[in-house]
Amino acid sequence: MIVKDWCSFCGECAGVCPRNLIEVKEYSLIFSDTDCKECDFCINACPLNALERD
Amino acid sequence: MIETDVLVVGAGPAGSIAAKHAARGGAKVILIDKKSEIGAPKRCAEGVSDNGLENLGITPDPRYIAKKIDGVRLVSPNKTNVWLTSEEIDLPEAGYCLERKVFDKFMAMDAAREGAEIRIKTLAKGLRKDGDYVIVTCESMGEEFDIKTKIVIAADGPESRVARWAGLKTATKPGNMESGIQYEMCGVEFEREGVIEFYFGSVAPGGYAWIFPKGDDIANVGLAVIAQDTNKTAYEHLQEFVANCPATQNAQAVELNVGGDPVGGMPRKIYGDNIVVCGDAAGQVNPLTGGGIISGMNGGKVAGDVAAKAIIDNDWSEKYLEEYQIKIHEEIGAEIDKYLKVKEYALSLSDEELDSVAEAFQNIDFEKISTTEIVKNLVKVSPKALLKLGKLI
């Protein structure tokens, strides 16, 4: 997942991830891409359009 | 290894009050938060009711009150205003706009003064069972370490992972997650002072827009949308709202806040062996308004009290901790269920129907300012609402 530099790390993406794969740190997001089923819930939920699939 | 009775994950208002009550009840408590500053950045419009704080035993402190609220303005899509202020109502219920960056710290300090140990910049990274205990792996300043605890109180917000690590089904469905975004702005021009404003209709699909005053010309100006109900981002909707709203024509943003708001109600189960869940992580949010400070703190208070009692009784099994779910459902469950139905109805209204409700409200005498009063009068003026919500009210 590409995290754009305007991400505010609000964690909304993590809240809707059905597989609990997103770790939200204070100033970074870590995605467990290997288990991702590409549902894109995280991308669609982002209020700032800050996520993009690789 | 660090050992404790109760580990609270997340030092928002729900987590801090949980830590405070668990410590007050005699438990050894650690409260962790991943951020370097508790309360910042805020993800909230910062409104609370006076009696909400009072019921939690909190006397409002002027150091975290940004503005006293004296009324409500509802604005329909065609700009019909419904004013519910001291000019229209004898005794409007008082409320406040908080300064969350100060309020949240005060709540954490209250927990510390009761004996809780606070660890900031500490992230929970995983959870595993160890006999009658659980071990939570944490990370702080590049160092990884374990905390062994009897009970975890998961108050880690809408992005909660802790409860899910424990096997609870607390994930929020995309249709139940409001995408919230707001500016804190100066130069906002209010028609009446101390009034919180709500704007309804297609300005914010699946939610509403708001202006919450924080000073003479300062306000939180924001909105929340359901992402799947619109093909624009919440940010694009906010830009449009600010460009078109008369109050913000000369306003400038000094802060941008973003965050999800779980408005689908509480999950079916928010407890298990060694764990209870509270606050946004447990969906303790009014589904209609999205307000979650007071309801989340109610959850935290009950969670802390039950956890302390569990430690005294030497039983932190799922069966014992079920008491938390029973109590919190008694306190706020019925309200949340009711407002879920009201929200479903409200979202079914077109812009034209919202306009006609606002027109009909012009001839109604409101007795007080509350969400329930507004819904009660909605049922009076709308046959469709009476049909859908009559039994509820």
- CATH number of the domain where residue A7 is located: 3.30.70.20
DSSP letters spanning B212-248: EE-SSSEEEEEEEEEGGG-SS-HHHHHHHHHHH-GGG
B229 to A44, B86, B176, B283, B297: CA distances (angstroms)? 11, 36, 11, 20, 30
Search chain B and give the residue with CA nearest A11: B159
Residue B47, both tokens: 């409104």
CB-based contact (8 Å) between B170 and chain A?
A: no
Q: Which of B42, B156, B159 to mutate to test the interface with A (most CBs of A within 10 A)?
A: B159
Mean pLDDT of B186-197: 95
Residue B52 and residue B116: Cα distance in Å, rounded? 24
Report CA Rg, chain B.
21
How many CA atoms within 13 Å lie on the side-chain side of B16? 24
- As beta bridge partners, residue B148 has B3, B135
- As beta bridge partners, residue B136 has B127, B147
> Among B15-19, B179-183, B342-346, whose mean pLDDT is lowest?
B342-346
Are B45 and B210 a contacting pair, CB within 8 Å?
A: yes
Chain A residues at the B interface, defined by Cβ less than 8 Å, are 8, 10-18, 20, 22-26, 41, 44-49
Contacts of A22 in chain B (CB under 8 A): 159
ipTM over 0.85: yes
Return the pLDDT at B392: 66
Q: Does pLDDT of B53 surpass 90?
A: yes
Mean pLDDT of B43-71: 93
Return the pLDDT at B358: 86
The letter for the amino acid at B8 is V
CA B296 to chain CA centroid, nearest Å:
6
Residue B119 and residue B103: Cα distance in Å, rounded? 18
Residues 6 or more apart whose CB falls under 8 angstroms from that of B90 comprise none
Residue B312 and residue B310: Cα distance in Å, rounded? 5
Give me the residue label for tokens 């939920």. Answer: A45
**Helix B293-312 crosses helix B318-328 at what angle (to 10 degrees)?**
150
Q: Does pLDDT of B299 surpass 60?
A: yes
Q: B181 vs A24: CB contact, 8 Å cut-off?
A: no
CB-based contact (8 Å) between B36 and chain A?
A: yes
- Residue B384, judged by CB atoms within 10 A of its CB (0-12, 13-18, 19+), counts as middle
pLDDT, one tens digit per residue, over A1-54 is: 999 999 999 999 999 999 999 999 999 999 998 999 999 999 999 999 999 998
Show contacts of B70-73: CB within 8 Å, 24+ apart.
B70/B94, B70/B193, B70/B194, B70/B195, B71/B192, B71/B194, B71/B195, B71/B196, B71/B369, B72/B195, B72/B196, B72/B197, B72/B198, B72/B369, B73/B191, B73/B192, B73/B195, B73/B196, B73/B197, B73/B198
Q: Which of A6, A16, A19 to mutate to test the interface with B (most CBs of B within 10 A)?
A: A16
CA B188 to chain CA centroid, nearest Å:
24
Mean pLDDT of B223-241: 95
Are B67 and B215 a contacting pair, CB within 8 Å?
A: yes
Tell me which residue of B247, B239, B250 sits closest to B182, measured CA to CA: B239
Contacts of A10 in chain B (CB under 8 A): 43, 159, 258-260
Mean pLDDT of B202-210: 95
pLDDT, one tens digit per residue, over B127-160 is: 999 999 999 999 999 999 999 999 999 999 999 9
Q: Does pLDDT of B366 surpass 80?
A: no
Return the pLDDT at B227: 92
Question: How many structural domains compose chain A?
Answer: 1
Return the pLDDT at B364: 77
Three-state DSSP state, B283: coil
Return the pLDDT at B386: 75
The letter for the amino acid at B283 is G
Mean pLDDT of B9-38: 98
Q: Which domain holds residue A10?
A: 2-52
pLDDT, one tens digit per residue, over B275-298 is: 999 999 999 999 988 999 999 999
Residue B31, both tokens: 């409260």
Domains and CATH numbers, chain B: 2-44+101-173+264-340 (3.50.50.60), 75-96+174-262 (3.30.9.10), 345-389 (no CATH)
Three-state DSSP state, B186: strand
Residue B201, both tokens: 């209709």
Return the pLDDT at B91: 57
Q: Does pLDDT of B390 surpass 80?
A: no
pTM (two decimals): 0.94
Three-state DSSP state, B27: coil
What band does B393 get if pLDDT is binned at 50, 70 and 90? low
Residue B304 and residue B162: Cα distance in Å, rounded? 17
Q: CB B313: neighbour CB atoms within 10 A?
A: 9
- Residue B39, judged by CB atoms within 10 A of its CB (0-12, 13-18, 19+), counts as buried
Q: Higher-confidence residue: B325 or B353?
A: B325
